[in-house]
Amino acid sequence: MTPIFLITELAKALREVVKDFEFVAELQPAKPVTVYEQYLPSDRFQVDSFYPLVIVSLDSVVVENRDRIATVVIQVSTFGGEDEDGFQGWRDMFNLAERICQFLDATPILAKKFPLHKKSAFTPQETQPFPFFNGFIVVEYVLGLVQY
C-alpha cells in the first residue's frame, strides 16, 4: 500500500503546485491543469479534453541497501495553442515542468513520509505529436526499510 500512498500524496501536492496555471486546451479556452493518478480515466475523454495535464505514475520499486526506492514518472502534457508568437504549447510544457521540478527538488521529504532519494530529471519527448507537447519528469523516493 505504501506506493499507493506515495502516488496519492504526490498528486495532491502537485495539484497545489499547478493550481494557478491555465493553458489552452483542444478547441477550448484556457483551462486549469488537471493532475491524474497513474492513468487517464477513459470516462472523461468523451466529454472533455484531457489537456493540459499531469499524470503521476509509479514506474518501479527496487531494493537498494535495504531501502525500498520508488521511481515515479510524471508526464506533463500541453496542447499547442497559438498566440501572437505562434504555437505556445511547447513553452507551456517547459513552464509547467520547470515549476514542478522546482517544487520536487525543494521538498526533501514529501508529506512528512517519503524522503527524496534522487532529484528530478526532466526530458521532453523526442518526437512531439504536434499539436500536443509531452515531457517526462523522473524522481525517486524512499518508501521505507526492507524488513528481513
pTM to 2 decimal places? 0.88
Is 50 within 8 Å of 111 (Cβ atoms)? no
Between CA 27 and CA 35, with CA 29 as vertex, the angle to 5 degrees is: 90
Is 96 within 8 Å of 76 (Cβ atoms)? yes
Q: What cell numbers appear for 6 in the block?
A: 506515495
pLDDT value at position 36? Answer: 93
pLDDT one-digit tens code per residue, 19-34: 999 887 777 778 899 9
pLDDT value at position 148? Answer: 63
Name the stretches of the chain with pLDDT < 50.
none
- Exposed / middle / buried, residue 80 (Cβ in 10 Å: 0-12, 13-18, 19+): buried
List alpha helices for the chain, DSSP H: 2-17, 42-45, 89-106
3-state secondary structure 5-65: HHHHHHHHHHHHHCCCCEEEECCEEEEECEEEECCCCHHHHCCCCCCCEEEEEEEEEEEEC
β-strand partners of 35: 54
pLDDT value at position 51? Answer: 80
